[in-house]
Amino acid sequence: MAHLPSASTPPDDGVTIVNTGCCHDCGGRCVLKAHVKEGRIIRFESDTGPEPQIRACARGRAYRQRLYSPERLKYPLRRVGARGQGRFERIGWDEALDTVADQLKRVKTTYGNAAILFLPGAGNQGILHGPTAPGMMLQAFGGFTRYWGIPSYEGALFASMATYGTIRTGHSRDDLLNSKLIVMWGWNPANTVWDPETSLAVAKARENGARIVAVDPRHTDSVATFAHQWIPIRPGTDAAMLIAMAHVIIAEGLLDRAFIEKYTVGFDAYRDYVLGKSDGVAKTPGWAEPITKVPADVITGLARAYATQKPAALIAGWGPARTAMGEQYSRAANVLCAMTGNIGIPGGYAAGFMRAYSSRETGHLMKKDPGKQIDKSKGIPSANPVENGALPRPDTLYKLSGGTNATSARIHQGRIWDAILRGRAGGYPTDLKMAYIVASNCLNQYPNANRGAEALRSLEFVVVHEQFMTPTARFADIVLPVNTFMERSDIAPPWLGSPYYIYLNQAVAPLHDTKSDLEICRALAPRIDVPADFFNMNDEQILRLFASRRKDIADFDTMQRDGVLKIKLPEPIVAFREQVADPDHHPFPTLSGKIEIACDHLAEMENPRIPAVPQYLGHPEHFDTPLAQKYPLQLLTAHSKVRTHSTLERVPWLQAMEDHGAWIHPVDARARQIENGDAIDIFNDRGRVRTTARVTERIMPGVVNVCQGAWYTPDESGVDVGACANTLTRDEPSPGGAFPMNSALVQVARVSRQPQEDQ
């Protein structure tokens, strides 16, 4: 591959090192140096350059087994059996593309563009490949219906926008060295990475003397590695604990009154709720103890520590916000940061969405832009003709720019299956007839997989661009085989917000008869009469065009040669540094210009489920509802360290690191005669999964965890023997749009005992 621009001089053994990277939606975005011999990658190494190094995790280092997997899709396929049965025949590219073009045109002519459902997924995070080109193509074709809501963070995002008017609320990781106390609230970067330098930064902060407390129902690898104290908490009750901490801070006068006065609005309303003046219930630690299962003195202790050991970083992960009332937890965390004045100062943290550097978006996210405010009566302009002019949905923060698009033309991602099945009659904006799915294992990754299978079966046509025969691809009529990021070039910004770019240089020629998503669009666009201007540029021309628009990419060629561009910052990023140092010239980008402890924009919704101040609120599948009699255990669906969602599911090296199985506490296991290693069923009214019991005290009683991402594999009787978490999850989003994947009630039963091994 000597012609590739990144190739350094081959060492004597005929190996060429290609500077490239890894870019699924994995929490990272890392340097990989591919050692290529005779056109094949024989090993990877990671960043060996100057600090800070952007080092790959086990998943990236195992990538050869994904790239060269015998299970890769090799050529276009057409369904021959019933939809979902997984029987296909090989066809040529022309036939496959003609079929897709004919179906697109048929659906457009018969039903209109709104009947085309585009489901882009997170599979590839480069700017060029993955769903970008298909989206542009379908837009030029007259538009499509899509979803709103991102399962990662919708609750955290909603709360961040309501409180701060922005998602840029994070600090660069080097600033953790300035913290005296770090609270890892539902945050497990030892597994989920959250940008590659994070674990090292937390370790250094601990060495530097910071005290580290973790609040998580699971004793995660992060707890084991970093934390001085583990506080297990009942899932979905975090808002109650945070509100009780606020009670301690108010009652004991530990508030930062000057900060509250100067930078916030609405504290009095929150204080009245916390003290019980508005509803007669004082939210004391004693009130929170039976709700959260956290002893009152532990809540009091953490509240005092957080308010007095300043600066303190409360890092509020997204897992607890992936719950049925998720935004209340995030709002309560944000408000606690504000009450203690831990915002805008080195070593503090604002919680919120937590993006720091923004190579992903432009600077507008930090500016209040009233000129861009949406006129509710006129509707929202959009380049997608299907959406153009649609009115905002109720219960959206439509007056703020930079958050979720408020258009009512979109359907919440968690409700897509219901929308397909019920359409306009069910109150959705359209009747959906075909799905165009790119880089998404939606059947596996959206909540309520059994309903998903029913929905996909009901469509007239399904096309999937994929690399593997995923549970979703099995439901396609046409599967188009796509290459991986080792087989093409791209630019990738970091996952969350660290200051660098990865340039992925193509390391090997595309394997089998695969194409990139962009190449597919180049071939498909003329077949559906879409003008091909964009698609006529070659890959590198587009990457150069992208780079030329970024102020922080000064030299494309050097970035391309090195495979990485690290941006040097003059000082650590501290969110809201200017707002706090010089409030007269730097208002917060909210409507009031201040941190909104009580938010008028929320109050205007007049929805008691979205109160103006954060509250602890229940929901129909909470631990204290009648349903809990039937299904007494709470299900968590954390992200696995050996997969990226459902990607990398079939990589033997990674499977060897950790088996799929369910964590269950010995008390719950004993009550069900379950021993470690037993086959168990986990079930509720939505479905039943079969997996292996991992009996462990690393999870609190009353809670079971099945990591998300295992492949949905229903057997003849409907039992999901792949144990996909979403066979069990709830698909009713929170009022603010949070995904309730950590709010399902379940029961567990033993299926059979493994034969005892000889002693």
Ligand X SMILES: Nc1nc2c(c(=O)[nH]1)N[C@H]1C(S)=C(S)[C@@H](COP(=O)(O)OP(=O)(O)OC[C@H]3O[C@@H](n4cnc5c(=O)[nH]c(N)nc54)[C@H](O)[C@@H]3O)O[C@H]1N2
Question: What is the contact surface with ligand X in residues (CB under 6 A)?
Answer: 25-27, 121-124, 129-130, 151-152, 185-188, 191-193, 215-218, 220, 233, 235-236, 238, 317-320, 322-323, 438-442, 444-445, 465-468, 470, 482, 517, 636-641, 643-647, 708-709, 725-726, 729, 741-742
Smallest distance, Å, CB 708 to ligand X?
A: 4
* Chain residue at closest Cβ approach to Mo ion: 152
Smallest distance, Å, CB 353 to ligand X?
A: 11
The per-residue b/e assignment along 49-78, b for 16 or more CB within 10 angstroms, e otherwise, is eeebbbbbbebbbbbbebbebeebbeebbe
Structure tokens at 677: 């290693």
Binding status of residue 322 toward ligand SF4 by CB under 6 A: no
724 binds, among ligand SF4, ligand X, Mo ion, none (CB under 5 to 8 A by kind): none
Q: What is the DSSP letter of 319?
A: T
CB 144 within 8 A of CB 116: yes
Written as one string, the DSSP assignment of 187-216 is --HHHH-SSTTHHHHHHHHHHTT-EEEEE-
- What is the distance between the alpha carbons of residues 171 and 166, in angstroms, rounded to a whole number? 14
Q: Residue with structure tokens 């990277």?
A: 21
Binding status of residue 614 toward ligand SF4 by CB under 6 A: no
Determine phi and psi for 220, rounding to 5 degrees: -75, 175
- What is the distance between the alpha carbons of residues 719 and 679, in angstroms, rounded to a whole number? 13
Q: Rule CB under 5 A: which of 445-484 touch Mo ion?
A: none
Q: Rule CB under 6 A: which of 330-359 touch ligand SF4?
A: none
Per CB under 6 A, the list member of 16, 17, 18, 27 interacting with ligand SF4 is 27
Give the x-and-dash track for 98-137 against Mo ion (CB under 5 A). ----------------------------------------
Smallest distance, Å, CB 44 to ligand X?
A: 17
Binding status of residue 315 toward ligand SF4 by CB under 6 A: no
Written as one string, the DSSP assignment of 406-462 is -BTTSEEGGGHHHHHHHGGGGT-SS---EEEEES--HHHHSS-HHHHHHHHHHSSEE
- What is the distance between the alpha carbons of residues 590 and 161, in angstroms, rounded to a whole number? 8
CB 444 within 8 A of CB 726: yes
Q: Rule CB under 5 A: which of 140-169 touch Mo ion?
A: 152
Per CB under 6 A, the list member of 16, 17, 44, 59 interacting with ligand SF4 is 59
Query: What is the H or E stretch that residue 419 is in?
Result: helix 416-422
Q: What is the DSSP letter of 754?
A: P
**C-alpha closest to that of 316 among 280, 349, 273:** 349
30 binds, among ligand SF4, Mo ion, ligand X, none (CB under 5 to 8 A by kind): ligand SF4
Which residue, 46 or 99, has its beta carbon nearer to ligand SF4? 46
- What is the distance between the alpha carbons of residues 345 and 390, in angstroms, rounded to a whole number? 41
Please list the residues that pair with 183 across neighbouring strands: 213, 314
Binding status of residue 225 toward Mo ion by CB under 5 A: no
The C-alpha angle with vertex 732 and arms to 452 and 723, in degrees rounded to 5, equals: 45
Which residue, 126 or 143, has its beta carbon nearer to ligand X? 126
Structure tokens at 270: 């929150």
CB 28 within 8 A of CB 189: no
Smallest distance, Å, CB 436 to ligand SF4?
A: 26
What residue type is 551 in one-letter code? Answer: K
* Sequence-separated (6 or more) residues with CB below 8 Å from residue 708: 445, 637, 638, 639, 640, 645, 724, 725, 726, 741
Number of residues that bind Mo ion (CB under 5 A): 1
Binding status of residue 60 toward ligand SF4 by CB under 6 A: yes
Give the x-and-dash track for 179-218 against ligand SF4 (CB under 6 A). --------------x--x----------------------
Smallest distance, Å, CB 25 to Mo ion?
A: 6
Give the x-and-dash track for 629-658 against ligand SF4 (CB under 6 A). ---------------x--------------
438 binds, among ligand SF4, Mo ion, ligand X, none (CB under 5 to 8 A by kind): ligand X
727 binds, among Mo ion, ligand X, ligand SF4, none (CB under 5 to 8 A by kind): none
Which residue, 193 or 338, has its beta carbon nearer to Mo ion? 193
Which residue, 58 or 305, has its beta carbon nearer to ligand X? 58
Which residue, 150 or 721, has its beta carbon nearer to Mo ion? 150
Which residue, 16 or 124, has its beta carbon nearer to ligand SF4? 124
Q: Residue with structure tokens 């953490």?
A: 302
Per CB under 6 A, the list member of 29, 522, 566, 643 interacting with ligand SF4 is 29
- What is the distance between the alpha carbons of residues 28 and 60, in angstroms, rounded to a whole number? 10
Give the x-and-dash track for 49-88 against Mo ion (CB under 5 A). ----------------------------------------
Cα–Cα distances in angstroms (integers) from residue 64 to residues 22, 170, 262, 477, 487, in the given order: 11, 34, 55, 29, 12
Please count the other Cβ atoms lying within 10 Å of the Cβ belonging to residue 540. 13
Q: Which residues bind Mo ion (CB under 5 A)?
A: 152
Q: Which residues bind ligand SF4 (CB under 6 A)?
A: 22-24, 26-30, 56-57, 59-60, 193, 196, 644
